[in-house]
């Protein structure tokens, strides 16, 4: 077995697959070795940098024979920046790996079978797809992304996965943070679906300095292509100019959302995902729908267009405020918003004896663990689960299967090209 003392020794490996993570997977004497920046089909030399017992982490030393699926990354920061660890893998191979990561998790973790795994939906754009980018701010007000496996900042001049409008505002974003007195740790450049409208949202560690108000007003006067500025911290928020963006989940529903509130980064991919969910749900006037983790209403409003009623549960108070405003804007009187954490709301709804025909789950990466008992008691015949983590999706679907919900079909959707992240839509039916 390779030890830490042998780290300078090079191992020759054939990379067989991509992991759900920034690694290619090879084997040496039957032991798994995971090496970043590699492609299935590569023959490489690697050194062991971390011994994990039953597997090891390697570093790429040399590509001996490049894989047919290997491509030249167009971004100059690949290898340093941790944002796009699959950019050297051609897109078709990325899609195959994401499809496999969903199938493997459902089989290994969920022990699930007898369902239909539908082909993955590709992202409409492989580059320039992010309408919002989150950048870290390092000492000296340097702006960029973290190095792979590190909190060291890689300062960037441009980002190929950012939308054109977001990318061209990087210099303006630097100019703003250089004027700030507040201790800013993250900055998001958020592009609106409304034409040529963007907002900068800075996350502050500590208090928001009063001097930043005057600086913000001067900055906006000098940069008419920036619609607004937001500074927010744990218990505080200040804004100047327009502090909301427009999100269109489907035609005719232009929702206004606070810039710092979560929205999907891939505009066209989000519309495809929403359309698939609406098609699968086949919502009608007789449906009473319960939606957990609703956010500001990305799915809620399109569902309310079709269903008899929707109860939307969301923990983020600002998202709920946005959802209520947009409900009023479109005169949706059939939406009831509940600001609460999902387990609390589920318990209260069950105790109140409420019943629903269909249910939507769209949790964060941690999933919806522990909800299954209350969900089963709420009577929904169909559950549509939108996941951004195959492992927690598999865990939660297995728990719901024990409550009588059979998995019928799963559709992976790629919203994040050049990363290992993948969305999936699953349909469960009560049997």
Residues annotated as catalytic are: 388
180: tokens are 């700030």
Q: Output the CA torsion 68→69→73→74 (10° steps).
A: 90
When computed from its CA atoms, the radius of gyration of the chain, rounded to whole angstroms, is 23
Give which of 305, 311, 273 is closest to 289, Cα–Cα: 311
Nearest Cα neighbor of 153 from 127, 179, 177 is 177
CA 218 to CA 259: how far, in whole Å? 20
427/203 Cα distance (integer angstroms): 36
Distance CA 303, CA 274 (A): 10
Nearest CA to 425 out of 397, 402, 405 is that of 397
Determine the distance from the C-alpha atom of residue 81 to the mean position of all C-alpha atoms in its chain, rounded to a whole number: 18
CA neighbours closer than 13 Å in the CB half-sphere of residue 332: 27
Token readout for 259 is 């810039």
Please give the Cα distance from 233 to 242 (Å, whole number). 18
Q: Which sign, positive or negative, has the C-alpha torsion 313, 317, 322, 327?
A: positive
| Total Cβ atoms within 10 A of residue 118 | 15
Dist. CA 251–CA 203, nearest whole Å: 32
| DSSP β-bridge partners for residue 248 | 254
> Is the CB of residue 411 less than 8 Å from the CB of residue 383?
no
274-280 long-range contacts (CB < 8 A, ≥24 apart) are 274/249, 274/250, 274/298, 274/299, 274/302, 275/250, 276/121, 276/411, 276/413, 276/425, 277/360, 277/384, 277/386, 277/425, 278/250, 278/302, 278/303, 278/306, 280/384, 280/409, 280/425, 280/427
Q: How far apart are CA 153 and CA 336, in angstroms?
A: 43
Structure tokens at 3: 């030890």
CB 314 within 8 A of CB 293: yes
């Amino acid at each position: 077995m390779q030890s830490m003392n042998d780290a300078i020794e090079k191992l020759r490996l054939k990379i067989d697959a991509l992991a759900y993570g920034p690694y290619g997977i090879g084997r040496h004497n039957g032991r798994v070795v995971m090496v970043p920046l590699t492609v299935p089909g590569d023959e490489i030399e690697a050194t062991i940098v971390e011994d994990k017992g039953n597997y090891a982490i390697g570093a790429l030393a040399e590509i001996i024979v490049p894989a047919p699926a290997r491509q030249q990354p167009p971004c100059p920061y690949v290898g340093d920046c941790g944002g796009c660890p699959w950019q050297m893998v051609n897109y078709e191979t990325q899609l195959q790996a994401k499809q496999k990561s969903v199938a493997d998790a459902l089989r290994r973790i969920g022990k699930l079978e007898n369902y239909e795994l539908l082909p993955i939906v590709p992202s409409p754009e492989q580059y320039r797809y992010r309408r919002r980018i989150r950048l870290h701010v390092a000492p000296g007000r340097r702006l960029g992304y973290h190095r792979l496996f590190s909190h060291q900042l890689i300062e960037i001049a441009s980002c190929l996965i950012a939308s054109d409008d977001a990318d061209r505002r990087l210099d303006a974003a630097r100019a703003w943070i250089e004027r700030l007195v507040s201790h800013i740790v993250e900055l998001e450049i958020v592009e609106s679906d409304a034409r040529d409208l963007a907002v900068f949202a800075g996350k502050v560690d500590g208090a928001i300095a009063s001097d930043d108000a005057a600086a913000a007003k001067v900055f906006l006067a000098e940069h008419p292509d920036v619609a607004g500025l937001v500074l927010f911290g744990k218990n505080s928020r200040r804004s100047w100019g327009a502090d909301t963006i427009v999100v269109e989940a489907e035609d005719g529903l232009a929702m206004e959302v606070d810039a710092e509130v979560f929205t999907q980064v891939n505009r066209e991919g989000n519309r495809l995902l929403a359309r698939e969910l609406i098609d699968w749900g086949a919502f009608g006037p007789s449906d009473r729908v319960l939606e957990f983790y609703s956010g500001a209403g990305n799915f809620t409003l399109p569902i309310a267009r079709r269903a008899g009623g929707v109860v939307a549960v969301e923990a983020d108070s600002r998202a709920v405020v946005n959802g209520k405003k947009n409900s009023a804007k479109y005169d949706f009187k059939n939406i009831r918003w509940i600001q609460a954490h999902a387990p609390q709301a589920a318990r209260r709804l069950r105790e109140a004896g409420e019943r629903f025909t269909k249910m939507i789950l769209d949790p964060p990466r941690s999933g919806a663990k522990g909800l299954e008992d209350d969900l089963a008691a709420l009577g929904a015949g169909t559950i549509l689960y939108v996941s951004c983590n195959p492992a927690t999706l598999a865990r939660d679907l297995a728990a719901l299967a024990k409550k009588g919900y059979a998995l019928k079909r799963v559709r992976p959707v790629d919203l994040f090209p050049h990363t290992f992240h993948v969305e999936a839509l699953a349909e469960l039916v009560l049997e």
